[in-house]
Amino acid sequence: MSAYAERRVPVALGGRAYEVLIGAGLIDRAGELLSAHLPRRRTAIVTDRHVADHHGERLAAALEAGGVAVDMVVLPPGEQTKSFAGLEDLTDRLLALKLDRGDRIIAFGGGVVGDLAGFAAAVYKRGIDFIQVPTTLLAQVDSSVGGKTAIDTAAGKNLVGAFHQPALVLADLDVLATLPDREMRAGYAEVLKYGLLGDEAFFAWLEANGEAVLAREPTPLAYAVARCVEMKAAIVAEDERETGRRALLNLGHTFAHALESETGFGDALLHGEAVAAGCALAFRFSAELGFCSPEAASRAEATIAKAALPTRLHALAGAPFGAARLAGHMAQDKKADASGLVFVLARDVGEAFVAKGVDRDALLRFLVAEGATIDLTT
Smallest gap from Cβ 243 to ligand GLY, in A, equals: 12
Q: Which amino acid is at 152?
A: D
Cβ proximity to ligand GLY, 249 vs 363, nearer residue: 249
Residue 216, classed as helix, strand or coil, is coil
Return the sign of the alpha-carbon dihedral for residues 87, 59, 15, 139: negative
Selected catalytic residue, list 157, 227, 250, 301 = 250
Q: How far is the CB of 89 from ligand GLY (least distance, A)?
A: 25
- Tell me whether residue 125 is one of the annotated catalytic residues: no
For ligand GLY, the closer CB: 104 or 232: 232
DSSP assignment string, 74-102: EE--SGGGSSHHHHHHHHHHHHHTT--TT
Orientation angle between helical segments 181-198 and 294-306, nearest 10 degrees: 160
- Put the strands of the sheet holding 130-134 in their side by side order: 7-11, 18-23, 168-172, 130-134, 104-109, 42-48, 69-75
- Establish whether 250 is a catalytic residue: yes
Per DSSP, helices labelled H in the chain are 30-33, 49-51, 57-65, 84-96, 111-123, 137-138, 181-198, 200-214, 218-238, 253-263, 271-288, 294-306, 323-331, 360-369
Relative to beta strand 18-23, strand 42-48 is: unpaired
Question: Interior CA angle at 196 toward 195 and 201, to 5°?
Answer: 45
Rg (CA), the chain: 20
User: Catalytic site residue 271?
Assistant: yes
Out of 7, 42, 55, 190, pick the active-site residue.
190
Tell the smallest beta-carbon distance from residue 18 to ligand GLY (Å): 15
Q: How far apart are CA 78 and CA 90, in angstroms?
A: 14
Q: Per rule CB under 6 A, is residue 142 in the interface with ligand GLY?
A: yes
User: Do the beta carbons of residue 225 and residue 214 sit within 8 Å?
Assistant: no
**d(Cα 252, Cα 324) in Å, to the nearest integer?**
18
Residue 246 within binding range of ligand GLY, rule CB under 6 A: yes
Q: Is 273 a catalytic site residue?
A: no
Q: Is 253 a catalytic residue?
A: yes
Instruction: Work out how close the CB of 133 gets to ligand GLY at its nearest, in angstroms, rounded to a whole number.
Output: 18
**Catalytic-role residue among 37, 55, 271, 329:** 271
146 binds ligand GLY (CB under 6 A): yes
Identity of the residue numbered 94: L
Residue with Cβ nearer ligand GLY (66 or 156): 156
Tell me whether residue 190 is one of the annotated catalytic residues: yes
CA distance 63 to 29: 8
- Rounded distance between C-alpha atoms, residue 264 and residue 367, angstroms: 20
Q: Please identify which residue in 9, 74, 179, 249 interacts with ligand GLY, judged by CB under 6 A.
A: 249
Of 142 and 351, the one with the shorter C-beta distance to ligand GLY is 142
Please identify which of the residues 242, 288, 301, 370 carries the catalytic annotation: 242
To the query of whether residue 37 is one of the catalytic residues in this protein, the response is no
C-alpha 153 chain-centroid distance = 18
Residue with nearest beta carbon to ligand GLY? 249
In the bound state with ligand GLY, the residue whose beta carbon lies nearer, of 249 and 287, is 249
How many residues belong to the site for ligand GLY (CB under 6 A)?
6
- Taking contact as CB under 6 A, which single stretch among the options 112-120, 140-148, 152-160, 264-272 is the one that binds ligand GLY? 140-148
Amino acid 315 reads A
The answer for residues whose C-beta is within 8 angstroms of residue 39's C-beta and 6 or more apart is 102
Does residue 148 bind ligand GLY (CB under 6 A)?
yes
Which of these is catalytic: 7, 82, 193, 257?
257
Q: Which stretch binds ligand GLY (CB under 6 A): 121-129, 222-230, 246-254, 293-301?
A: 246-254
Distance CA 121, CA 131 (A): 10
59 vs 256, which CB is nearer to ligand GLY? 256
Of 92-100, 204-212, 244-252, 333-341, which segment contacts ligand GLY by CB under 6 A? 244-252
Output the smallest distance, CB 160 to ligand GLY, in A: 16
Binding site for ligand GLY (CB under 6 A): 142, 146, 148, 246, 249-250
Please identify every residue annotated as catalytic: 126, 148, 190, 232, 242, 246, 250, 253, 257, 271
